[in-house]
Amino acid sequence: MLLLLPAFLFVFLVAAITVAGHLALVRPQAGLRRLTETAAEPGGSSNSQVGRSPLPWLSRCLEQVGSLLPVSPQDVEMTRTELLAAGFRSRRAVPIFYGIKLTVAMGLLLADVLLRDRFFVNPILSLVSLIAFPVLGYMTAGLVVSQLMSKRAEALRQALPDALDLMVVCSEGGSALDQAMLKVSQELQSVHPALAEEFAIVNFEMLAGKAREDALRNLGRRTQEPELRKFTSVLIQTDRFGTSMVETLRAQAEYMRVRRRQAAHEKAAKVGVKIIFPIFFLCFPAMLIVVAGPGILQLIKNLFPMMRQVH
């Protein structure tokens, strides 16, 4: 049994890393390509292999496991919103997410049961680990999604000024707002894929018949990013009152560029404080050993014989 445990843990970790990499990297890129191809070529072939999962059996297993978990509709809606903000748009994302949480929790519980006699001799610690490990495994997937949400929000915030500049150029060339957003999504696909994906979804919703105001509101609600919500609010107000779209986009781009510069200055000002702890705990001991080490050795070498002579 002990020989099979490392193999089981290795297979479990490989499967978890594969699923996480697929959900974090493959699916958003595939979704972006599918949306842009649909928007650009409405009559395209439906037999494209883009977006198909390389591990369909694993996705189906996780979906079935996640569907066994009793969850309230409010929690499901909140989880779906968080997954949308993290970039996961599949209808199966919510049950797969719960399946991952339940699988990780059960895996840690099994590892704790198999290894408790070897690592946890104290009965109280063994009981605590029996409860703590599954809870920690269940919460880990939520922490990963929160980290992905923060990372995606930062990517959207950093890409917004460049996208606004391109929208200004397109608007000055005579393009409407939906055409400008489609052009920007195509041009920024390789540089800022997250924002290009969001703009492509907005254009796709407008092509499907949804009102421009609703599509823009969905953009801010879907991304959960404050700066993008401000941007959509400005566009909605501009479209409602009929003001100049070019001037609005130019002013918003300048505002976002100033905010990004101020954020960079703020981070640079914090470097001096943050670097104190690595210097004190890592660099200072090494420097102390190099500088004061020979003197301390000589002091010990000469002091100990003198102490023996005194006695």
pLDDT, tens only, 151-191? 998 888 888 888 888 888 888 888 888 888 888 888 888 88
Distance CA 142, CA 290 (A): 45
CA nearest to 160, candidates 236, 245, 223, 217: 223
Q: Where are the alpha helices (DSSP H) in the chain?
A: 4-21, 27-40, 56-67, 73-86, 93-119, 123-172, 177-187, 193-207, 212-223, 226-241, 245-274, 276-278, 284-310
Mean of all residue pLDDT scores within the chain: 78
pLDDT at 40: 40
Residues 6+ apart with CB under 8 A from 195: 155, 156, 159, 160, 163, 185, 188
Query: How is the chain split into domains, by residue range?
Result: 4-40+54-153, 155-272
Q: Which of 118-132, 187-201, 239-253 has the highest mean pLDDT?
A: 187-201
Contact 153, 87 (CB under 8 A): no
Class of domain 155-272: mainly alpha
pLDDT at 51: 39
Distance CA 192, CA 279 (A): 35
Two tokens at 161? 């000024």
pLDDT tens for 274-296 read: 888 888 888 888 888 888 888 88
CA nearest to 89, candidates 228, 218, 179, 206: 218
pLDDT at 295: 84
Two tokens at 268? 């640079």
Q: How confident is the model at residue 3 (pLDDT cuts 50, 70, 90)?
A: low
Angle between helices 212-223 and 123-172 (to 10 degrees): 150
Q: How confident is the model at residue 132 (pLDDT cuts 50, 70, 90)?
A: confident
Q: What is the pTM of this model?
A: 0.65
pLDDT at 127: 73
pLDDT tens for 82-119 read: 888 888 888 888 888 888 888 888 888 888 777 776 76
Pick the more confident residue, 86 or 33.
86
